[in-house]
Amino acid sequence: MARTEVKTANAAEATASEEKQAQNGKTETEISVRGLTKSFGSQTVLEDITCDIPKGRITLMLGPSGTGKSVFLKCLMGLLKLDRGEIWVGEKNLPTLARKELYRVRRKFGVLFQDGALFGSMSVYDNVAFPLREHTRKGEREIRDIVNEKISMVGLQGAEKKLPGQISGGMKKRAGLARALVLDPEIILFDEPDSGLDPVRTAFLNELILDLNKQLGSSMIVVTHDIATARRVADYIGMLYLRNLVQFGPAKDMFDSKIPVVKQFLAGATEGPIGMSEEADRGKGDGGKFVSTSGMSAEETERLEREAGAPEEDREIAEREAGVRDGGGSRASGDASQGVA
């Protein structure tokens, strides 16, 4: 069966499955998380997290900076060892799996990292082809067909020969997404896909995520701070705060929530339980008092905004990438190899 026929059949199957679930009033579970707890030394980052990630839907995990959203994604893939808890993907409980079996389950996942995690010395084409060359025995002709299909799917035709340093931040994310798709994953993870993008490019990326979800029927889990993204793409939303999952449910229920921390965050309000930093939230007890940035230096303002959950600016990303090119290039390579492992 041709690849386009397989894709059409998968989409039809996903639609039929959704209709059946709607008729039964029940959503099928893709990943079941039970009592997930993760610490680093004496610091507990996630505590007793329990939720069911729905199959074929877009789930957003929201929360202030430092609440463990990216750690949560790494736990879902089995990249971090849990202190306790269970993560069920189908019939497999990831924390109990031997390395070989865990590797098989990870093949179900595709990952888009914050900065794309592309290999700086490889073209867009070779970056996207990398997982196929590394993890399959496909010939170059078949690899070319798959890579061209995914590049077209994310709107990057014509950029195949360019290096990551020759394309914009938004295009880097699209290239990273194309690479995440080449192994046809059942589950796609997005770690702050809107980080560093202006509102227009974020809106285009959101539309792409929605379109891919309809085309592929994949389960998607998105970590983000962006409330516009949450309103546009989310079927389900989870809110992490002070180590805990405060609330998890359909997007409409979350936006109608009466829980103060959820209500404040989704409204982008300064008044509420969430303070200017995790330290304040953990015990300073300022009660969410309004804090003005009038009179502060640019550095102080940027620090406070970052602690409160503001995304990175293009300038900071460029500076970081420059640092990687000057001598820290192994980090991006390590991230990229993780994403296809």
The answer to whether the CB of 41 falls within 8 A of the CB of 217 is: no
**Beta strand 58-62 with 219-223: parallel, antiparallel or unpaired?**
parallel
For residue 234, count other CB atoms closer than 10 A to its CB. 23
Domain count, the chain: 1
Q: pTM higher than 0.75 for the full model?
A: no
Q: What is the pLDDT of residue 304?
A: 64
CATH number at residue 218: 3.40.50.300
Which residues are within 8 A (CB) of 262 and not within 5 positions of it... i.e. 6 or more apart?
Answer: 239, 246, 247, 254
Identity (one letter) of the amino acid at 92? K
Structure tokens at 89: 């993907």
Q: What is the pLDDT of residue 323?
A: 56
Residue by residue, pLDDT tens for the chain (341 residues) are 444 444 444 444 444 444 444 444 567 999 999 999 999 988 899 999 999 999 999 999 998 877 889 899 999 999 999 999 999 999 999 999 999 999 899 989 999 987 768 888 899 999 999 999 988 899 999 999 999 999 998 888 888 899 988 888 888 888 999 999 999 999 999 998 888 888 888 888 899 999 999 999 999 999 988 888 999 999 999 999 989 999 999 999 999 999 999 988 888 777 778 765 554 455 434 444 445 565 565 676 667 666 655 555 555 555 555 554 454 444 444 444 444 43
Q: How far apart are CA 57 and CA 221, in angstroms?
A: 8
Q: What is the pLDDT of residue 157?
A: 86
Range(s) of the domain holding residue 176: 3-339
Q: What is the pLDDT of residue 53?
A: 96
Q: What is the pLDDT of residue 281?
A: 53
Helix boundaries (H) for the chain: 3-24, 69-76, 99-106, 124-135, 140-153, 169-181, 199-216, 227-233, 251-255, 260-267, 278-279, 298-307, 314-323, 330-339
